[in-house]
Amino acid sequence: MRLSRYFLPVLKEDPKEAQIVSHRLMLRAGMIKQQAAGIYSWLPLGFKVLKRIEQIVHEEQQRAGHIPMLMPTLQPADLWRESGRYDDYGEEMLRVTDRHKRDLLYGPTNEEMITDIFRAHVNSYKDLPLTLYHIQWKFRDEIRPRFGVMRGREFLMKDGYNFDLTKEDALHAYNRHLVSYLRSYERMGLQAIPMRADGGPIGGDYTHEFLVLAETGESEVFYDSQITDLTFGDRQIDYDDVAECQAVLEEFTSRYARTDETHDQEVFDQIPEERRRTARGIEVGQIFYFGTKYSEAMGATVRTSDSTQVPVHMGSHGIGVSRLLGAIIEANHDDKGIIWPEGVTPFHVGIVNLKQGDNSTDSACQAIYAELQHRGLDPLYDDRDERAGAKFASMDLIGLPWRITVGPRGLTNNKVELTCRRTGQSEELSPADAIHRVA
Instruction: List contacts with Mg ion (CB under 5 A).
Output: 283, 286
Cβ-based burial of 234 (10 A; exposed 0-12, middle 13-18, buried ≥19): exposed
Whole-angstrom distance, CA of residue 72 vs CA of residue 61: 20
* 103 binds ligand ATP per the rule CB under 6 A: no
Among 40, 80, 118, 155, binds ligand ATP (CB under 6 A): 155
Among 285, 346, 399, 410, binds ligand ATP (CB under 6 A): 285
Whole-angstrom distance, CA of residue 357 vs CA of residue 423: 31
Question: Shortest approach of ligand ATP to residue 323 CB, angstroms?
Answer: 4
Question: Shortest approach of ligand ATP to residue 218 CB, angstroms?
Answer: 6
Residues 290 to 319 in contact with ligand ATP, rule: CB under 6 A? 318
Residue with smallest beta-carbon separation from ligand ATP: 320
Whole-angstrom distance, CA of residue 299 vs CA of residue 149: 37
Q: Which residues contact 426 (CB under 8 A, 6 or more apart)?
A: 405, 417, 418, 419, 420
Question: Shortest approach of ligand ATP to residue 116 CB, angstroms?
Answer: 19
Question: Binds 401, which of Mg ion, ligand ATP, none (CB < 5 to 8 A, cut-off by type)?
Answer: none
* 184 binds ligand ATP per the rule CB under 6 A: no
Whole-angstrom distance, CA of residue 291 vs CA of residue 174: 11
Scanning 47-55, 236-244, 278-286, 400-408 for contacts with ligand ATP by CB under 6 A, the matching segment is 278-286
Among 85, 323, 333, 415, binds ligand ATP (CB under 6 A): 323
Nearer to ligand ATP, 103 or 142 (CB): 142
Question: Binds 134, which of Mg ion, ligand ATP, none (CB < 5 to 8 A, cut-off by type)?
Answer: none
Q: Output the CA–CA distances (angstroms, integers) from residue 346 to 54, 125, 377, 400, in the order listed.
A: 13, 44, 11, 7
Whole-angstrom distance, CA of residue 103 vs CA of residue 113: 15
Question: Binds 320, which of ligand ATP, Mg ion, none (CB < 5 to 8 A, cut-off by type)?
Answer: ligand ATP
Question: Binds 285, which of Mg ion, ligand ATP, none (CB < 5 to 8 A, cut-off by type)?
Answer: ligand ATP
* 148 binds ligand ATP per the rule CB under 6 A: no
Nearer to ligand ATP, 194 or 285 (CB): 285
Whole-angstrom distance, CA of residue 419 vs CA of residue 233: 27
Dihedrals φ, ψ of 408, to 5°?
A: -60, -35
Tell whether the torsion through CA atoms of 182, 186, 187 and 189 is positive or negative.
Answer: positive
* 140 binds ligand ATP per the rule CB under 6 A: yes
Nearer to ligand ATP, 137 or 239 (CB): 137
* 54 binds ligand ATP per the rule CB under 6 A: no
Question: Shortest approach of ligand ATP to residue 142 CB, angstroms?
Answer: 5
Residue with smallest beta-carbon separation from Mg ion: 286
Whole-angstrom distance, CA of residue 61 vs CA of residue 56: 8
* 157 binds ligand ATP per the rule CB under 6 A: yes
Among 152, 399, 401, 431, binds ligand ATP (CB under 6 A): 152
Whole-angstrom distance, CA of residue 316 vs CA of residue 162: 7
Please state, as a whole number, how many other Cβ atoms lie within 10 Å of the Cβ of residue 318: 23
Question: Binds 157, which of ligand ATP, Mg ion, none (CB < 5 to 8 A, cut-off by type)?
Answer: ligand ATP
* 107 binds ligand ATP per the rule CB under 6 A: no
* 284 binds ligand ATP per the rule CB under 6 A: yes
* 213 binds ligand ATP per the rule CB under 6 A: no
Scanning 61-69, 282-290, 382-390, 427-435 for contacts with ligand ATP by CB under 6 A, the matching segment is 282-290
Q: Output the CA–CA distances (angstroms, integers) from residue 242 to 41, 168, 184, 236, 407, in the order listed.
A: 42, 10, 20, 14, 57
Among 103, 142, 358, 386, binds ligand ATP (CB under 6 A): 142
Q: Which residues bind ligand ATP (CB under 6 A)?
A: 109, 140, 142, 151-152, 155, 157, 283-286, 318, 320, 322-323
